[in-house]
Amino acid sequence: MIRENILRHGLSAAAVVGAMLFIALLLAAAVEDLLQSKITTSVRANAQAHAFNWTDRFLSTTPSATSMIAEGAASEEDIRRISDPILLGGILHLQLFNKDGVPTFVTGNSDFDPSRAQTESALKVLEHKTPIVELFHMDHADHEELEELPEIANLDAHDAHDAHEAHGDHDGHESEEIPHAFAQAFLPAYSPSGELQGVIQVNVDVSHLMESLEMTFHQVGQYLIFGTLLIVLVPVAAFSFRAWQVMRANRQQLELNRFDRLTGILNRNAITDVLDSHFGPGKDPAGLGILFIDVDNFKQVNDRFGHQCGDQVLKHTAAALKANLPGDGHVVGRYGGDEFLVLCPQASMDDLRAVYSQMRASVRQPIDCHGTAFVTSLSIGAYVAQSEDTKRCALHAADLAVYEAKRRGRDQAVEYEPELGEKATHFSCPDERADGKTSLAPAPGAPA
């Protein structure tokens, strides 16, 4: 009887231990799938954000973007720029489809014939007007996936040999190295007027992010296999927090690259990029309205009420300026400490006058800071660019006007006139020459 009880309890204990181990293994496998799913979701979201950011920059800074999408026509300069690895910034491959889903342009091999899957993806984007993002991890890609990848010719020598060998290709072709993981994004391309022009397909390098997340995952996985149920749950929470930290850092970096952290509007680099897109070879800046805006007595606000109130003034001003932008294509950015820049394409001086009048009225709404209400005001310089203007000359004209507004006592707007250039000859505008250097030239409208 005792022997039977020992045997029975031993079998029960073994069954319990076995069940616990089995449950632990099942939970570990489930957690592994969950973590891999989180990795994939995080990487795909990051790749989509990067692709949208790059596509917006491509459309706004590439003069021949519209013709490239419609019919594949591009200037040599634009082709050189979008093929520059530094300017690509993590983009491995670019392909354009017109509004009928027909491929018009591709970087690299100009004879490349896109796969049926790529064409179908482009057509789906055109139909539903939503992006499609697919993640390719070369360590796990099967033979069928490799056949569909346009980048198969860009694998490193070892991987290319293995991939071609799996398909019966032994020509010994060697080409450039590609990352082991990348995302293929199909994004709708819109014109400044909001019309759907076609589809932009880019391949985004996600190797670094993938490796960072996978490294954390594998470290956690070693504990999951041998841990108890409680120990299994702890690394899941730790990994989720780590993944959240990584993604938050990436989102913050994207925001820092484009938006001002305090006010939420475009920062100096971003507003300068928009300004650059209106000038240069093949661009006619005529009709670009420029408002150079300075917050009056901002230093006194900081000195009297403190920097917290100063920050509140900047946020209030930025919100007022943004709320009174006429529509799409009109942008506002923080150009300096208390300086703002507003760009209004295809505007006349009458249009600018209406815009800055609304902005001045809106910004004069009282601000409450520590129980004290006060009103701020703006000095504004207005200028409408001419065809012969360079970027520096156009900014210079608006700067002369805002300088005159402050000289006259602030809290007003001054529209640029040639007489301002004559009064301030020491502000002569640097004229950009073909050799990239500058020479002093008269201010816009001033006699030569």
Cβ atoms < 10 Å from Cβ of 197: 20
Q: How far apart are CA 216 and CA 219, in angstroms?
A: 5
**Tokens standing for 332?**
């506002």
DSSP SS3 for 171? coil
Looking at 78, 205, 294, 338, which residue is catalytic?
A: 338
Question: Is 338 noted as a catalytic residue in this protein?
Answer: yes
Partners of residue 132 on adjacent β-strands: 186
Cβ atoms < 10 Å from Cβ of 79: 15
Given the structure tokens 């020459």, which residue do they identify? 433
Chain centroid offset of residue 138 CA: 26
Helix H segments across 62-142?
65-71, 76-82, 85-88, 116-128
Phi first, then psi: what are they for 374, rounded to 5°? -145, 165
Residue 295 CB partners (closer than 8 Å, separation 6+): 313, 314, 317, 338, 339, 340, 376, 378
DSSP SS3 for 416? coil
Cβ atoms < 10 Å from Cβ of 340: 27
Q: How far apart are CA 90 and CA 347, in angstroms?
A: 36
Active site residues per annotation: 338
